[in-house]
């Protein structure tokens, strides 16, 4: 494997990217075409068609077509080039991009997170970097404002979720409009073809597209980058031909004067048509979202050197064609394709003929079908990229407790982040088929598409304004400039798209409402469940007092009790020992939680601490994941956990002479991280975790210490006790809870908890499946939560 291919498959972080060669940078820029720009490059298929789908019509003076081209050019330049390429790309979160990356930056630097179980030790993670600059008075006021108003922090999360739901809706609409727009081009050559056949072919392609998702996109960049590059060069060449052949003066439309003339001449109809213009920048959010797979530099090079000029030439060429063919507006893209096959020699001869005022006759072979085939492949590629991005978004939502547990499958062992979610895949397919078969019109689908895209872009602008103030600690003038310049343009397009709600825009609102209800209800139910655990957790004082009265005994083995709490004993444990007064001689409370960073390294994954005195044999283990990590271990988790506990015990013994603080028996609310010795960075050898634990105690200690010299290993009684308990077996103790709203709750809360949250809980993945717990070692504790 060559270095550039290896860099692509592993992802290029901002730290190691500086050491890459120029050849690697250019190679990655080329490969980014297949992943990042499939959405943006296929927009010319339907932009002009959707823009002129209403009452707006073309007149002889071409003011309308020049005005639309001027809007496309300046929107593409200001939003795509200035905003995303020059500004937003710089707001990466450890090399990751997207809405959650911006939100994560704000949560860490402004302490806006409402995730449960957040601890001060999380700030010691290597990826938990915050800006070292001193706070400005603006950033200090904002932080204090958010700190004093928890409701505002929750409102910010809801605002982010709205953008996220619109992005998921984009994952539903994009395959429909892309495939349908590409396939409908066949009617240019076969005019007698009925629309039902076009819809049927589109649906067949969509079913096939979603059916192969489980195979993954292992080589998506290498397979599809040539397709996108060919497509861009093809439409730009056609654009150049149309400019010289039909209207060389079309370049005048690049003046912003034509935008003012357009609005003045067309009035409200021109304003409403802007909902079609905004489709020219669909896909710019994908550039930022895919930052983790490449780098800001490679994406910027690909956009500025190839994508931007090719698309501008394509839009100019189509406008030049329309200025002479007003009647072909609804099939303008395919109609603008030259009817003859123009080779490179043909183009050179044609341009020379223009200079010499002579005529040149082309060869007779039509180029329509090659362009049609490339357009179809480009549409499929675009749909594939958006579907994969939707899987990634939903995985991140689950990490932030905003989406039910679903099955996540890794489709590639080399390309990080390539995942497949079966349930989501088939739901998206059903939505896509319903939209394609129900609306049967790219104009109506385009109206829904524009509203979804502009909403996501406006959310990004608002978050960027906060990032400039809180994270970058810049002045309020720069922040307001960003908000007013980009936000005003996006609000203009949003207002135009909202007026198109009766004509198809309602699709995006319905999809957003459905996903928002699911995500907010799940987040609300999860937070209420955690609040119940916090209010009803069992204190150490109570545990020690009720032990003799219950006749509590310890049985051989290791018990792993999973809890939602990062500190203290969960209510489930008190319920367990009350009904079955016995637990294992080594008991570990395991809390799996997400932190506001994209990734947590394996060496920082586990945080081990002791519960009370050594004689109890009880430990607390916090398993930390980033919002882009997949909560699935690549090797045997129990062996890794036991080895970490043994290392913690041995490190504790080594520092026995140093004073330690133990949890007092009457300290009911003490945090786990405030007592004992925490092993926050376990630097154990990962290879030892992949081997099965051997029965020999001496071999076990050698393996746990990663030492090849047994004579150097010292034996600890507690370490041997833990290893012997491991030989008796490991039992996974999980809660099987049922959430119920209190009788005094409102009707809305009862409906949300008892009906919606209850339905989602029963139909989502069970905890044992998520944690990959062997059924032979599983013990479930039933309990009802009244929230």
Average pLDDT of the residues in 60-78: 89
DSSP per-residue codes, 229-297:
HHHHHHHHHHHHHHHHHH-GGGGGGGSTHHHHHHHHHHTHHHHHHHHHHGGGGTTHHHHHHGGGGS-HH
Average pLDDT of the residues in 167-175: 90
Distance from C-alpha of 84 to C-alpha of 304, rounded to nearest angstrom = 12
Could you tell me if 735 and 571 are in contact, meaning their C-beta atoms sit under 8 angstroms apart? no
> How large is the C-alpha radius of gyration of the chain?
30
In whole angstroms, how far apart are CA 280 and each of 39, 383, 420?
10, 16, 29
pLDDT at position 387, please?
84
Is residue 600 predicted with pLDDT exceeding 60? Answer: yes
Distance from C-alpha of 450 to C-alpha of 452, rounded to nearest angstrom = 5
Could you tell me how many residues make up the chain?
787
Is residue 52 predicted with pLDDT exceeding 90? Answer: no
Count of CB atoms situated within 10 Å of the CB of 272: 20
pLDDT in tens, 567-580: 888 888 888 888 88
Distance from C-alpha of 752 to C-alpha of 493, rounded to nearest angstrom = 34
Percent of the residues in the chain that have a pLDDT greater than 90, as a whole number: 31
Is residue 193 predicted with pLDDT exceeding 50? Answer: yes
Average pLDDT of the residues in 467-492: 93
pLDDT in tens, 220-261: 556 678 888 999 999 999 999 999 999 999 999 999 999 999
Is residue 401 predicted with pLDDT exceeding 90? Answer: no
**Helix/strand/coil percent split, the chain, to 5:** 65, 10, 25
Residues contacting 458, CB < 8 A, separation 6+: 163, 487, 490, 491, 494
Closest CA to 419 of 430, 407, 429, 408: 408
> Which of the four pLDDT bands, split at 50, 70 and 90, describes residue 87?
very high
pLDDT in tens, 404-424: 988 888 776 655 566 788 999
**Phi then psi dihedrals of residue 780, to 5 deg:** -100, 140
Average pLDDT of the residues in 257-273: 89
The secondary structure element, H or E, covering residue 6 is helix 3-10
Q: Which two tokens stand for residue 271?
A: 């304003």
pLDDT at position 132, please?
62
Is residue 698 predicted with pLDDT exceeding 60? Answer: no
Backbone torsion region of residue 551, taken as left when φ is above 0, otherwise alpha when ψ lies between -120 and 50, otherwise beta: left
Closest CA to 303 of 324, 275, 284: 284
What dihedral angle (degrees, nearest 10) is formed by the CA atoms of 625, 626, 628, 629?
-20
pLDDT at position 317, please?
95
In whole angstroms, how far apart are CA 135 and each of 79, 88, 148, 355, 471?
29, 21, 18, 62, 9
Distance from C-alpha of 101 to C-alpha of 113, rounded to nearest angstrom = 13
Instruction: Name the more confident of 345 and 771.
Output: 771
Is residue 518 predicted with pLDDT exceeding 90? Answer: yes
Distance from C-alpha of 34 to C-alpha of 729, rounded to nearest angstrom = 49
Residues contacting 632, CB < 8 A, separation 6+: 408, 410, 772
Q: What three-state secondary structure class fits 739?
A: strand
Using alpha carbons only, what angle is made at residue 92 by residues 90 and 93, rounded to the nearest 5 degrees?
Answer: 155
Closest CA to 592 of 635, 563, 626, 629: 563
Average pLDDT of the residues in 454-469: 94
Give the lowest-confidence range in 170-179, 708-717, 742-751: 708-717
Q: What three-state secondary structure class fits 314?
A: helix
Distance from C-alpha of 604 to C-alpha of 607, rounded to nearest angstrom = 7
pLDDT at position 736, please?
82
Residue 419's beta-bridge partner residues? 410
> Which of the four pLDDT bands, split at 50, 70 and 90, describes residue 541?
confident
Is residue 16 predicted with pLDDT exceeding 80? Answer: no
Average pLDDT of the residues in 353-381: 61
Distance from C-alpha of 371 to C-alpha of 41, rounded to nearest angstrom = 14
Residues contacting 132, CB < 8 A, separation 6+: none
Residues contacting 119, CB < 8 A, separation 6+: 566, 622, 671, 673
Backbone torsion region of residue 568, taken as left when φ is above 0, otherwise alpha when ψ lies between -120 and 50, otherwise beta: left
Give the lowest-confidence range in 50-59, 482-491, 571-580: 50-59
The owner of tokens 């003339």 is 261
Sheet holding 582-594, edge to edge: 606-610, 618-625, 582-594, 553-563, 730-740, 778-786
CA of residue 306 relative to chain centroid, distance: 26
Q: Which two tokens stand for residue 668?
A: 């009911």
Distance from C-alpha of 496 to C-alpha of 258, rounded to nearest angstrom = 19
Helix boundaries (H) for 400-505: 422-439, 442-466, 476-498
Could you tell me if 340 and 231 are in contact, meaning their C-beta atoms sit under 8 angstroms apart? no
What dihedral angle (degrees, nearest 10) is formed by the CA atoms of 483, 485, 488, 490?
-90
Closest CA to 600 of 164, 123, 131, 218: 123
The owner of tokens 């009766």 is 502
Instruction: Name the more confident of 28 and 660.
Output: 28
Give the lowest-confidence range in 115-124, 472-481, 489-498: 115-124
pLDDT at position 459, please?
95
> Which of the four pLDDT bands, split at 50, 70 and 90, describes residue 196?
confident
pLDDT at position 550, please?
56
Q: Residues 464-478, buried b or exposed e (16+ Cβ, 10 A)? A: bbbbbbbbbbbebee
pLDDT at position 572, please?
86
pLDDT at position 354, please?
43
The owner of tokens 């998921």 is 168
Q: What three-state secondary structure class fits 746?
A: coil
Mean model confidence pLDDT for the chain: 80
Closest CA to 522 of 389, 396, 397: 397
pLDDT at position 568, please?
80
Distance from C-alpha of 307 to C-alpha of 762, rounded to nearest angstrom = 47
Closest CA to 542 of 674, 669, 665, 676: 665
The owner of tokens 């103030």 is 469
> Which of the four pLDDT bands, split at 50, 70 and 90, describes residue 57?
low
Q: Residues 629-650, buried b or exposed e (16+ Cβ, 10 A)? A: bbbebeeebbbbbbbbbbbbbb
Is residue 173 predicted with pLDDT exceeding 60? Answer: yes
Average pLDDT of the residues in 540-555: 68
Is residue 184 predicted with pLDDT exceeding 90? Answer: no
Please, what is the angle between helix 150-183 and helix 137-148, to 10°?
100
pLDDT in tens, 721-730: 899 999 999 9
Q: Which two tokens stand for residue 587?
A: 């008991």
> Which of the four pLDDT bands, split at 50, 70 and 90, describes residue 60?
low
């Amino acid at each position: 494997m060559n270095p550039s291919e290896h860099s692509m498959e592993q992802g290029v972080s901002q730290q190691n990217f500086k050491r890459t060669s120029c050849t690697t940078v250019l190679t990655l820029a080329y490969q980014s075409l297949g992943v990042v720009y499939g959405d943006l490059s296929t927009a010319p298929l339907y932009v002009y068609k959707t823009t002129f789908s209403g009452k707006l019509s073309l007149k002889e003076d071409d003011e309308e077509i020049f005005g639309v081209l001027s809007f496309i050019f300046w929107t593409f330049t200001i939003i795509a080039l200035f905003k995303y390429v020059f500004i937003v790309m710089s707001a990466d979160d450890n090399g990751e991009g997207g809405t959650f990356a911006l939100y994560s930056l704000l949560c860490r630097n402004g302490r806006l997170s409402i995730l449960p179980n957040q601890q001060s030790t999380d700030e010691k993670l290597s990826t938990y970097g915050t800006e070292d600059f001193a706070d400005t008075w603006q950033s200090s006021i904002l932080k204090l404002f958010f700190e004093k108003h928890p409701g505002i922090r929750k409102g910010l999360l809801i605002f982010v979720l709205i953008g996220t739901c619109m992005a998921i809706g984009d994952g539903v609409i994009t395959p429909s409009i892309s495939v349908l727009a590409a396939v409908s081009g066949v009617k240019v050559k076969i005019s007698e073809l009925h629309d039902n056949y076009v819809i049927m072919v589109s649906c067949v392609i969509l079913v096939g597209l979603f059916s192969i998702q489980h195979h993954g996109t292992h080589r998506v960049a290498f397979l599809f980058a040539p397709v996108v590059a060919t497509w861009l060069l093809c439409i730009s060449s056609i654009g150049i031909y149309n400019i010289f052949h039909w209207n060389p003066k079309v370049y005048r439309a690049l003046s912003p004067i034509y935008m003012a003339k357009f609005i003045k001449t067309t009035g409200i109809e021109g304003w409403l048509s802007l909902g079609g213009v905004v489709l020219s920048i669909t896909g710019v959010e994908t550039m930022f979202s895919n930052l983790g797979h490449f780098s800001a530099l490679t994406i910027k090079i690909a956009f500025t050197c190839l994508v931007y000029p090719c698309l501008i030439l394509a839009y100019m060429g189509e406008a030049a064609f329309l200025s002479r063919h007003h009647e072909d507006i609804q099939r303008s893209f395919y109609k603008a394709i030259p009817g003859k096959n123009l080779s490179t020699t043909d183009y050179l001869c044609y341009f020379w003929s223009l200079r010499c005022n002579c005529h040149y006759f082309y060869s007779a072979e039509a180029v329509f079908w090659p362009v049609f085939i490339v357009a179809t492949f480009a549409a499929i590629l675009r749909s594939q990229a958006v579907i994969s991005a939707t899987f990634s978004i939903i995985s991140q939502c689950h990490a932030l407790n905003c989406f039910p547990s679903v099955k996540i499958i890794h489709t590639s062992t080399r390309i990080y982040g390539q995942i497949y979610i079966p349930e989501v895949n088939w739901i998206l397919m059903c939505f896509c088929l319903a939209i394609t078969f129900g609306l049967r019109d790219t104009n109506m689908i385009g109206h829904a598409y524009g509203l979804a895209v502009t909403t996501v872009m406006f959310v990004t602008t608002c978050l960027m304004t906060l990032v400039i103030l809180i994270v970058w600690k810049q002045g309020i003038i720069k922040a307001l400039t960003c908000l007013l310049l980009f936000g005003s343009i996006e609000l203009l397009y949003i207002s135009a798209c909202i007026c198109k709600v009766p004509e198809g825009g309602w699709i995006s609102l319905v999809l957003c409402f459905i996903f928002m209800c699911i995500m907010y209800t799940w987040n609300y139910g999860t937070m209420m469940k955690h609040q119940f655990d916090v209010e009803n957790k069992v204190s150490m004082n109570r545990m020690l007092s009720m032990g003799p009265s219950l006749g509590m005994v310890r049985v051989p083995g290791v018990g792993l009790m999973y809890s939602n709490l990062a500190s203290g004993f969960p209510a489930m444990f008190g319920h367990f020992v009350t009904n079955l007064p016995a637990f294992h001689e080594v008991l570990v409370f395991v809390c799996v939680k997400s932190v506001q960073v994209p990734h947590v390294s394996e060496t920082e994954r586990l945080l081990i601490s002791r519960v009370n005195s050594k004689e109890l044999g009880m430990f607390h283990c916090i398993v930390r994941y980033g919002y882009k990590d997949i909560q699935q271990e690549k090797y045997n988790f129990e062996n890794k956990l036991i080895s970490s506990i043994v290392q913690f015990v041995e490190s504790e013994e080594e520092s026995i002479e140093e004073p330690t603080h133990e949890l007092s028996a009457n300290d009911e609310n003490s945090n786990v991280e405030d007592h004992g010795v925490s092993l926050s960075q376990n630097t154990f050898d990962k290879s030892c975790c992949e081997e099965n634990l051997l029965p020999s105690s001496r071999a076990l200690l050698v393996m746990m210490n990663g030492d090849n010299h047994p004579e150097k290993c010292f034996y600890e009684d507690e370490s041997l006790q833990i290893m012997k308990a491991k030989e008796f077996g490991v039992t996974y103790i999980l809660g099987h809870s049922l959430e119920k709203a209190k009788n005094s709750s409102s009707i809305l809360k009862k409906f949300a908890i008892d009906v919606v949250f209850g339905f989602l809980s029963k139909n989502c993945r069970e905890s044992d499946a998520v944690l990959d717990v062997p059924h032979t070692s599983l013990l479930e504790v039933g309990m009802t939560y009244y929230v």
